Chains A and B, each alone.
Chain A
């Protein structure tokens, strides 16, 4: 378990959020440390995406606290979160389809002011996903789903983030791509000390690379264990 205080990258306490007046998430606590991958599992409609939206500032939490590296960001708009080193990759529509791979990556570097670091990030993306290096001028929408997903992770890296929020990175992908993506996420966390919050339906793959796991149901957390503990469970049906 991560310790409180200086170690924690992201701290979420008592989060209550929803749409309009209607709460969908009732009091969620969560924390991530640098280099840690935290998976959030749970059935569809459990409130996982809402939690992520609230953490990133797409929706304003109704109650609770979100802190990034000690400073509170709860009520700030999403743009501010991006500026402070958070990136968010949605479950669907996660690249700019009409633009080329290069334009996608360049855009994603909007928050990176230094050209040298930008070039650095680009090299790293190419190292992680060589296929993107070959397809710079191709329109993102014409690539396969797996390649687009790789691009989305690459885009997340272009701003040199400290925290990555990923919504179902494996959605709609074939098993081979899912493994590649998961491995890449693990590499990013290890080498760059980036903290990762990953929502997933593909439990098996998520457990392979995650450090800790939260399980949500009906807007609340019903379990918080290490991935190792969860892996040893006989079956997972009762968590969903």
Chain B
């Protein structure tokens, strides 16, 4: 039987065949670098390729965002999704947050995974207060964001009533992918580069409910101001 063999992708630049002269000149250049004899434009290029200047704060934020230590803290059914986020299938280790710490003293992120009852709220607050700065909080799912389906006497209607929350993740419960998405948004926030709102991102300014028209359509002053600012950003 005849088999047709075909290359499935082009060779990368490193694999391209080179002439012997090319190889020789690279060898000489490498020797000059090692001896410290590089001069002039060659030296400039060498330095530019290898040195990056930035501020200490930015480097610190990159380090913090990419090495998070979440707290081992499950509140309800969302905790199951939170646990599966650590498994090999979703693998939060890709983003540097696989080490769930069992002590708030060693953690810098708390995931509020579930409804917070009024009896649990002081406990959550205390655990949050025990964490060392800098620290971040993720409200996972409808319950910890707004009380969700538990609109009753026993559940706090949103965890941000008693502690600061950085990111709210919708869902009941959110899929692990959604949690990862929220986590990467938090990472970007820590690095000082938060996401623009989704309307700006998808060029959807003007699709707000009140802006679509209708008889009773009139924005509040705050909404009108936010709309004006968003328009400025889009038009700029």
B is bound to A: no
